[in-house]
Amino acid sequence: MAKQEKDLSVLFYDTLKDIYYAEKQILRALPKMAKAAQAEELRNAFLEHREQTQGHVERLDQVFELIDKPARGKTCDAINGIIAEGTEIGEDFKDTEALDPGLLAAAQAVEHYEISRYGTLKTWAGQLGLTKVVPLLEATLQEEKKTDDLLSKLAQSVNKKAAA
């Protein structure tokens, strides 16, 4: 393996550990967000997304297996920061009409972080010739984008109530 390729594969593995950690933190955060949510449709969306996130973790397990590396997480300051902001909003706006809009905003920040990471990882997997890995990352990327679209739609209806 050329030096350059080795560098990129190290970065690929590092970033894989980053999103693996992030997905596990999201798995822990979603039930709390569902519990906090006021609107039933939002609560359901968070619970459904938790199921989906479980599937994303399993796909990452497959990716680690395909590149023959141990499945490990690496502390991701970015997702910790995003989740911490969501938790703060949950506390500051508890029992107010702005709670659901705030939770939705936090969830969309999470989705966008994931969209950027999976997009990057998919590009790198292609460049590294990891042909079996690409469709796994692509599948999750599409699901994250769909979830973000769904949350955008919910933001229109849930927030309308808040501003009414």
Q: For residue 38, give both structure tokens.
A: 């006021």
Amino acid occupying residue 124: W
Indicate whether 124 belongs to the interface with its own copies (CB under 8 A): yes
Q: How far is the CB of 109 from its own copies (least distance, A)?
A: 5
In the chain, what is the straight-line distance between the N-terminal and C-terminal CA atoms, in Å?
61
Task: Classify residue 110 by burial, with Cβ atoms within 10 Å: 0-12, 13-18, 19+.
Answer: buried
Please tell me the distance from the alpha carbon of residue 148 to that of residue 141, in angstroms, as a whole number.
Answer: 11
Local structure of residue 67 (DSSP, 8 states):
T
Q: How far is the CB of 37 from its own copies (least distance, A)?
A: 15
Alpha helices in the chain (DSSP H): 3-36, 40-66, 77-92, 99-127, 133-163
Q: Exactly one of 27, 57, 109, 139 binds its own copies (CB under 8 A); which one?
A: 109
Stretch that binds its own copies, among 33-41, 43-51, 132-140, 149-157 (CB under 8 A): 149-157
Stretch that binds its own copies, among 13-21, 24-32, 50-58, 62-70 (CB under 8 A): 13-21
Local structure of residue 96 (DSSP, 8 states):
S
Q: How far is the CB of 159 from its own copies (least distance, A)?
A: 5
Where on the chain is the footprint of its own copies (CB under 8 A)?
2-5, 7-8, 10-11, 14-15, 18, 76-82, 84-85, 89, 92-93, 96-98, 101-102, 104-105, 108-109, 111-113, 115-117, 119-120, 123-124, 127-128, 152, 155-156, 159-164
